[in-house]
Amino acid sequence: MRGFSVVDSTSPGALADYSAWRARDYFETYYSEVVLPDEQAVLAYQLEVMRRADVRYGRALEYGCGPTLHRAIAAAAYAARIDMADWLADNLVFVREWLASDAMESDWNRFTHFILQCEGTPDIDPVRIAHREAQARKAIHGLYVSDARWHDPLGEERRGYYDLVVSGFCLDAVSSDRGVWRACMQNVLSMLAPGGTIVIHALHDCTAYKVGERMFPGAGVTVDAMAESLLENDLTRASLDVQVIPCPDNAVYGYSGILTASARKPPTP
């Protein structure tokens, strides 16, 4: 989820919409070489939230997965079943191809290695990596095309359904309009079950980020805006954690910090 060129965030008229998105380009540009430092930070954060919860989640959802598997691979040791959703079918084709493959060598091996390292797994080798990826393939259940701008983005029957929702750099990337982001937050958070946990990442205070030659929107989310949104959607203040991970070297790409947050819904009384 990174840009690699100077972004002129002052010209929103130049923003691309997602009809111009190419899953392969996104993967090649941002995920094909190393686990970038900001990605290391948010993956470690997701793992820490899940580890601390000390529960096995029944139903998990990765919302806005794009063509990526690493957040689901991370969740696979903590959740019995994982659904994945994104607006673009092209992204889900990428996911489906990975699910259908049983190759030990996969695009996500280095991310799985990093995940196992964060968990303190000794003697990480290709067999352990393949085992975790097989666990993810088994846990991943439904792949859904969904628009976060819809009320009930996965249908009314998924309201209050998921024990864990993970969403990386999606809801803040839908539009540069903060009101749209707030509505997307409300829609996606409505799928959390009582007692459920959200882990969400956004580009901090970013109004445009670049993929390839195109600029895509950012809603300019700040710590206060994230905290307010989580609280207004009934997540508990006591569970709320919002952090900014600085990455000043990325300022030229349109952002100089990554925002990561987690919170829980109150259990049913």
Ligand X SMILES: C[S@@+](CC[C@H](N)C(=O)[O-])C[C@H]1O[C@@H](n2cnc3c(N)ncnc32)[C@H](O)[C@@H]1O
> Which residues contact ligand X by CB under 6 A?
1, 18, 21, 64-66, 68, 86-88, 91, 146-149, 168-170, 173-174
d(CA 127, CA 115): 14
Q: Report the distance separating Cα 232 and Cα 78, nearest Å.
A: 27
Q: Which is nearer to ligand X, 199 or 225 (CB)?
A: 199
Query: Of how many residues is the chain composed?
Result: 269
Helix 223-232 with 178-189: angle, nearest 10 deg: 40
Q: Report, in Å, the least distance between residue 236 CB and ligand X.
A: 25
CA distance 110 to 130: 11
Give the CB-nearest residue to ligand X: 66
Closest approach of Cβ 234 to ligand X, in Å? 22
What is the spatial distance between Cα 254 and Cα 207, in angstroms, rounded to a whole number? 7
Question: Cβ of residue 130: shortest distance to ligand X, in angstroms?
Answer: 23
Q: Which is nearer to ligand X, 55 or 251 (CB)?
A: 251
CA distance 31 to 36: 8
**Minimum distance of ligand X from residue 59's CB (angstroms):** 19
Is 62 or 163 the residue whose CB approaches ligand X more closely? 62
59 HSE (CA, 13 A, CB side): 14
Minimum Å distance from CB 68 to ligand X? 5
Q: If we measure between CA atoms, which residue out of 215, 195, 255 comes closest to residue 42?
A: 255
**CA-based angle 79:81:83, to the nearest 5?**
115
Determine phi and psi for 143, rounding to 5 degrees: -115, 125
Half-sphere exposure of 139 (CA within 13 A, CB side): 27
Q: Which is nearer to ligand X, 41 or 124 (CB)?
A: 41
Q: Closest Cα to residue 68, out of 40, 30, 36?
A: 30
Write down the least CB distance from residue 122 to ligand X, Å.
29
Shortest Cβ 127–ligand X spacing (Å): 27
Beta bridge partners of 168: 201
By C-beta, is 68 or 262 nearer to ligand X?
68
Q: Which residue's CB is nearer to ligand X, number 170 or number 199?
A: 170
- Considering only CA atoms, give the Rg of the chain: 17
